[in-house]
Amino acid sequence: MHDGIGTVITREIFWNVKGEGFPIAEPLTYILALTAILLMFRGLAKGGFWTRVKMMTLAKGSEVDRLDNPMGRLWYTIVDVFAHKKILREPYQGIFHFLIFWGFLILFLGATIDFLQVDIIEPIWHVHFMEGGVYLAYSVITDLAGLMVIIGVLMALARRYFIRPKWLDEKPEDNIILWLILAIVLTGFLAEGLRMAATELKPGNHMNAYAWYSFMGALFGYPFAGMSADALKSLHLVNWWVHFFIALGFIVYIAYSKLLHIFTIPANIFMRPVTAQPPLKAMPPEMFENAETFGIHNVEEYSWKDLFDSDACVRCGRCVEVCPAFNTDKPLKPRDVIQSIKTYLEQKAKFAMDADGKMRIIPDEEYTGPQLIEDTIAKDTIWSCTTCMACVEACPAYILQFPKLIELRRYLTMMMSDFPAEVQVVFKGFENNSNPWCIGGHTRADWTKTCTPLTLDDGTTQAVEIPLMSEKGGAEYLFYVGCAGSFDERNKKVTTALAKLFNAAGLDYAILGTEEGCCGDSAKKIGNEYIYQALAMANIETFKGYNVKKIITMCPHGYNTLKHDYKELGGDFEVYHYAEILDRLIKEGKIKLKKPVEGLGTITLHDSCYLGRYNQIYDQPRNLIKAMNSGTLVEMASHHAKSFCCGAGGGRMWMEENLGTRINQKRTNEALEAGAKTVCSCCPFCLTMISDGIKELGYEEKLQSFDISELVVKAAGLE
């Protein structure tokens, strides 16, 4: 018989709730348990869950396939949930959640085995398997599981009461849940201890020699070992009912709290988008001729899965912890964006529900409630995002935070013309010159005229020939230079370095020159899908005209856009970042690094968000630094998938940073704190932002910033 989570009472204990004198207790426990489950389902309605589900049915946003390869999705979900694959990326939080999860799961399985033994198997088949070594193993495992839960809960409470990170969200339910779990386990151990005080812990009892197999029960039982059997019986009975009602309360509370994530997060993991990039609402070109509105300003314009994300969010704060905007005192907290959508669903439901409880989409002219933009999610919040994807990478529930902000930007930009003032000039540059610098497009290839000649080993010089597609007719690789490499004076040095390296390796490549246009990344991330598609379609047509198959990019933003986003518009190309190409050419011996580069000192690498988190290119840039043998490589506090953004993504390169402190300065300080003298990057935006950070902070004597290609070309003796 059972007297607590995972605890077995032998038949000699006649005073349990199922024993003599309590004939109503056993059916009563089942009735109460069933009542608790029914109350939990009722709570789903009272707590707003079913209301939110009804609102989700109104969602009309486009969706990716969520049910393809169901067995693969199921296996991924099982591994992620039970192995805590993503949760354990943060050791402290991961460990205490792992302990609570597995401890509680083992205790639940233990209680289930106990129930099967006592209430089904033994009464029906008269088989008693809970004895001997099986019982002793059962005792050790379940007591260990309970101890795991206690340790996990105490770690969680310590974080809330003592560590208290600034990004931690606090609501009463957070503490209630932890104290409920702790109370369930402690009263369960107390029930076990009281039973043992009357049996195993008594000298001469046949189980006395095995008492410490139930080590937690023994610890709880020893203080009561001197009490009489009647006193133990009364105390045990009271404690058992307290334990039982706390457990029932826990079940009911699932519906009213974030405990619902027990069900919603596994579902969210199963339905995660199996796409190369976090998906945005599709906007096919024909949409610009027919659609009445663009972007999102009503919550039902999101997809149902976007809305379901809000119920999977448990406010853990991992997205806030890594957000560069939050960490530099901007108003953006990705968690709060998701939670605001959840709250807004319930608010709008009051207007959308008719007298019969049915939901309908309310036309804008009829709706008088709070608005999604500004009333619910402030404009400063929307424009603070750098689209660095740190929030998506960190989220253990696989929620897509920043794409929801891009959809709001689309509405503000294309419908309201409501965007930061400085962006207006950038849009004009895109439209008139196909670049955000607003420099004449006819000068896009002028950088080729300023390439310094190569000095050969015999002392003579040789001009650097940079082939044009229009003259060459075709090439294995299109070297897509991009706007920064064509117009920005600092980044022109990177472009020429790459051209020299490609020539030295004998690479079959060519550039488009004045036929090249902006990739459109900034326009897309700012929310101007119309301009983005115009730029992209022009490029795709040009690429196809030259039968381009392979493309090398200098900029990770261009790399990501050409590789992934262009596919939606019919542009399917094999795209490489230059770091991948140089790494391969060096390994093949086609580029020989002849001498170390002097004066670099300790080197650190800034991982570009669009190269790293977006495309998992981490090793190749580091391989290049190591191959030069020009200094010791150290990592900053934030690196690889946890790299801290430079602040230029999401179109922020072209916007003033008026709120909080500057993101690039925080990143620059991380480089200095790592003990580096040289900061390397392989992104023109990152190079600009880190270089500016060094100047703004007055670190010119302490730090220097280079693109990796600038150093490789020196090591190859090609300057």
Domain of 135: which CATH number? 1.20.950
Under a CB-based contact definition with an 8 Å cutoff, are residues 470 and 515 in contact? Answer: yes
Is the pLDDT at 378 greater than 90, yes or no?
yes
Whether the pLDDT of residue 11 is over 80: the answer is: no
Task: Look up residue 307 and give its amino acid.
Answer: L
Whole-Å CA distances, 694 to 416, 514, 667, 699? 37, 33, 10, 5
pLDDT tens digits for range 513-562: 999 999 999 999 999 999 999 999 999 999 999 999 999 999 999 999 99
Q: Are residues 92 and 240 in the same domain?
A: yes
Q: Tell whether 279 is covered by a domain.
A: no
Residue 668 in domain:
yes
Tell whether 406 and 481 lie within a shared domain: no
270 in a structural domain: no
Q: What is the pLDDT of residue 13?
A: 32
Res 353: pLDDT:
83
- pLDDT of 155: 98
> What pTM does this model have?
0.92
What's the pLDDT score for residue 455? 66
- Examine the domain organization and report whether 132 and 214 are in the same domain: yes
Report the CATH number that the domain containing residue 360 is assigned in CATH: 1.10.1060
In a domain, 357, yes or no: yes
The pLDDT score that the predictor gives to residue 579 is 98
Which residue shows structure tokens 């010159």? 433
Which of 530, 558, 587 finishes a domain? 587
CATH number of the domain encompassing residue 494? 3.40.50
pLDDT greater than 90 at residue 397: yes
The answer to whether the Cα torsion of 535, 541, 543, 548 is positive or negative is positive
Could you tell me the two tokens for 539?
């490029």
- What is the spatial distance between Cα 191 and Cα 2, in angstroms, rounded to a whole number? 10
Please state at what angle helix 578-587 crosses helix 489-505, rounded to 10 degrees.
Answer: 30
Same domain, 119 and 194: yes
According to the model, what pLDDT value does residue 117 have?
Answer: 83
pLDDT for 201 beyond 80 = yes
Residue 614 lies in a domain: yes
58 lies in a domain? no
Looking at the fold, whether 173 and 310 belong to one and the same domain comes out as no
| Residue 10 included in any domain | no
Give the pLDDT confidence of 422-431 residue by residue, as tens digits. Answer: 999 999 999 9
User: Among 437, 324, 388, which Cα is nearest to 668's?
Assistant: 324
Handedness of CA 78, 81, 84, 86 (dihedral sign): positive
Q: Is 128 among the domain residues? A: yes
Range of the domain at 697: 603-715
323-327 — which CB contacts under 8 Å span 24+ positions?
323/390, 323/391, 324/386, 324/388, 324/390, 324/644, 324/645, 324/647, 324/663, 324/666, 325/384, 325/385, 325/386, 325/660, 325/663, 326/167, 327/644, 327/666
How confident is the model over 162-177, as a mean pLDDT? 94
On whether both 129 and 193 belong to a single domain, the answer is yes
pLDDT at 21 over 80: no
Q: Report the 10 Å Cβ neighbour count for 620.
A: 19
DSSP string, 372-420: TBTTTB-HHHHHH-----HHHHH-TT----HHHHHHHHHHHHHTT--S-
Mean pLDDT over 245-268 rounds to 96
pLDDT at 15 over 70: no
H, E, C per residue of 21-34: CCCCHHHHHHHHHH
Could you give the C-alpha distances from 590 to 125, 412, 507, in angstroms and in order?
Answer: 77, 50, 9
For 475-486, what is each residue's pLDDT tens digit?
999 999 999 999
Residues 202 and 86 in one domain: yes
How many domains is the chain partitioned into structurally? 4
The predicted-structure confidence for 499-523, as pLDDT tens digits, reads as follows: 999 999 999 999 999 999 999 999 9
**What is the rounded CA–CA span in Å between residue 342 and residue 309?**
9
Average pLDDT, the chain: 92
Per-residue pLDDT tens digits for 55-80: 999 999 888 899 999 999 999 999 99
410 with 450, same domain: the answer is: no
Confidence of residue 7 (pLDDT cuts 50, 70, 90): very low
Q: Which of 280-284, 432-436, 571-575 has the lowest mean pLDDT?
A: 280-284
Residues 408 and 370 in one domain: yes
The pLDDT, as a whole number, for residue 550 is 98
CA distance 28 to 10: 21
d(CA 661, CA 184): 46
Of 115-119, 329-333, 629-633, the range with the lowest mean pLDDT is 115-119
| Judgement on whether residues 243 and 141 belong to the same structural domain of the protein | yes
Looking at residue 6, its pLDDT comes to: 34
Residues 405 and 452 in one domain: no
Question: For the segment 204-217, what is each residue's pLDDT rounded down to a tens digit?
Answer: 888 888 999 999 99
pLDDT of residue 649: 96
Distance CA 503, CA 222 (A): 81
